[in-house]
Amino acid sequence: MRKEKIYGLTIILFIILTAFSCKTKPEVPEATTTTSTVATTTTTTTTVLATTTTTTIDRMAETISDKEFADAQSLIDKARMAEADRYDRENLIKAEEFLRTAYQKNGTDGKATKEALEQSKKYSDLAYKNAFKKRAELKRAECDKLFSEADALGIKNLMKDNIDQSRAIYNEGNQKYSSEDYVAAYSKYSDCESSLKSAVNKMKATRSEYDNKIGYINKLIDEAKKIGAETYAPADLESAIENLNKGKAELSNFDYTNSQTSLEVAEKSAISAIDKTKFAIKEKKRKEALRAIMEAGATVEEASQTNIGEYEKSDGGYNFEFDGEIKDMNNSPDDMSSSISYRDLLNKAIEYIDKAKQAYRAEDYDMAIQYANIAKRIALSYKEGGNKTKYTVRLLPDKRDCLWRISEYSFIYGSPFLWPRIWKANKEQILNPDLIYPGQVLLIPNVD
């Protein structure tokens, strides 16, 4: 508008100047009219220029309130809280740049300041929205992974309600995302993730319990086999193995309920196999101990019928009874290292018969067998009039037999210094007199 008026004024001045240059004597009426027109035009132009100048000064002097700047900064902070600096840094930077421009223009160009603030707010909103959009997408991807993991664990077969609830929340998130409500979508996906993580962790713990159960049953079966269940409890052992394999197959098919039942049967069968095997072995050992005690008792009784030693035939000899009173005796074989006479051998044999009885009634059948065998050997030695024949090397608690100790036994020589006799009689099997082994049968020569 201003330019048009100036342009019009210029044309009028040009016409006036042209008119004056063409006439030597201007006409008074025309000059008067022209002067009035020029004056009027000049006055109008001056008024327009003044008005325009005043408007420009007012516009330049306008200042934006602090609240508008605070609002723009608040939106930037909000975008930052949404992690826009990570997911939409480009728009966040633009928002910050426009805010700085607004600060620079404030007080000098009000219109430019307002425009810069509006741009800053626009880019802050965009950064905030894009940030939540990206976060919602990432959270949805995490949910998808958890759904896949849950499927791999067969979670539907054991925790169907949990997985259905998580799926419903996930679908709500999809709806919010489709309507571009990314903040709400992110919230729904987060809830879905939390629900799924809880369900998956519970499922993993349950699966771990099943795996531990299988490992425990395998150990039971190995133990049962080791102690001889295949001989003494074959049916229970077979049931344990069969149900274990069945339970493992059901577990691989995510049939947790039936798998639990099968594994429980397998565990009970394995334990039963172990118990039955131990009982059978114990019963076998009991019978061995009983037989050893009976044989030792018969040998001692027979030895007592000879005319040698303390018990003579005229006195009726020694009568073996198994159910006699139990005495308070040691629970390990005596090394018989004390010096006793040949006449006391039979008494020693009877003492070991009593020890064998005590061990038997205490269900320590191994010790009972050892005591009975010692009693039998002593009785045989007594019966043969002290002739030494053979000795089996023993492994005793906390010590072992050696030629020195064997020679020292009262029922052998009663002196450790006679050990060379034993070595010379057994050189074929004793290469090193300091090294003999449990179970070796040694010849014991008589003393010349």
Looking at the structure, tell me whether residues 71 and 199 fall in a common domain.
yes
27 in any annotated domain: no
* Predicted local confidence at residue 446, as pLDDT: 66
Q: What is the mean pLDDT of residues 20-46?
A: 41
Within 10 A of 116 (CB to CB), how many other CB atoms are there?
Answer: 23
For residues 205-229, average pLDDT: 95
pLDDT of residue 284: 93
pLDDT number for residue 330 = 38
**Over the stretch 267-282, which tens digit does the pLDDT of each residue have?**
999 999 999 999 999 9
Of 404, 405, 381, 401, which is closest to residue 392 (Cα–Cα)? Answer: 401
Asked if residues 158 and 203 have their Cβ atoms less than 8 Å apart, the reply is: yes
Q: So what's the pLDDT on residue 13?
A: 58
Write the CB contacts of 36 (distance below 8 Å, at least 6 apart in sequence): none
Report pLDDT for 62.
64
Is position 94 within any domain?
Answer: yes
Domain count, the chain: 3
Higher-pLDDT residue of 48, 347: 347
Report the percent of the chain where pLDDT is more than 90.
54
pLDDT at position 15, please?
62
Last residue within a domain, chosen from 160, 181, 204: 204
Q: Residue 2: is its pLDDT beyond 80?
A: no
In a domain, 351, yes or no: no
Based on the domain organization, do 171 and 196 belong to the same domain?
yes
The 3-class SS string of 29-91 reads: HHHHHHHHHHHHHHHHHHHHHHHHHHHHHHHHHCCCCHHHHHHHHHHHHHHHHCCHHHHCHHH
**CA 15/CA 10 separation, integer angstroms:** 9
Return the pLDDT at 194: 95
For residues 215 and 137, membership in a common domain is answered with: no
130 and 196 together in one domain: yes
199 in the same domain as 78: yes
pLDDT digits (tens, 9 = 90+) for 36-66: 343 444 444 444 444 444 444 444 446 788 9
CA 274, CA 269: separation in Å to the nearest integer? 9
More reliable by pLDDT, 44 or 395: 395
Higher-scoring residue by pLDDT: 61, 364:
364
Each residue's pLDDT tens digit, 286-298: 999 999 999 989 9
Q: What integer pLDDT is reported at residue 71 of this predicted model?
A: 95
Q: Does any domain span residue 49? A: no
Question: How many residues does this entry show for the chain?
Answer: 448
**What letter represents residue 437's amino acid?**
Y
Q: Say yes or no: 196 and 218 in one domain.
A: no
In a domain, 364, yes or no: no
Can you give the pLDDT at residue 445? 78
Does 118 share its domain with 235? no
Would residue 222 count as lying in a domain?
A: yes
What's the domain range around 260?
A: 207-275
- Residues 324-342 have a mean pLDDT of 40
Residues 180 and 215 in one domain: no
Span 423-436, average pLDDT = 89
Residue 89 lies in a domain: yes
Q: How far is CA 379 from CA 324, 326, 345, in A?
A: 19, 21, 7
Residue 415, domain CATH: 3.10.350
Nearest to 165 by CA among 187, 192, 126: 192
Q: Kindly indicate the confidence band of residue 249, based on its pLDDT and cuts at 50, 70 and 90.
A: very high
List the one residue out of 191, 136, 141, 138 whose CA is nearest residue 165.
Answer: 191
Residues 145 and 220 in one domain: no
Q: How confident is the model at residue 79 (pLDDT cuts 50, 70, 90)?
A: very high
Does pLDDT of 303 surpass 70? yes
Task: Read off the pLDDT of each residue in 221-228 and give the average, rounded to a whole number.
Answer: 95
Q: What does the alpha-carbon distance between residue 81 and residue 11 come to, in Å, rounded to a whole number?
A: 63
Q: Are residues 193 and 268 in the same domain?
A: no
Q: What is the pTM of this model?
A: 0.56
The maximal CA–CA distance of the chain, rounded, in angstroms, is 198
Picking from 187, 204, 221, the residue at the C-terminal end of a domain is 204
Same domain? 175 vs 231 = no
pLDDT in tens, 94-147: 999 999 999 999 989 999 999 999 999 999 999 999 999 999 999 999 999 999
Predicted local distance difference test score (pLDDT) of residue 315: 44
Mean of the per-residue pLDDT values of the chain: 81
- Assess if residue 167 is contained within a domain: yes
Of 219, 253, 275, which one is at a domain's C-terminal end?
Answer: 275
| pLDDT over 90 (residue 327) | no
**217 and 104: one domain?**
no
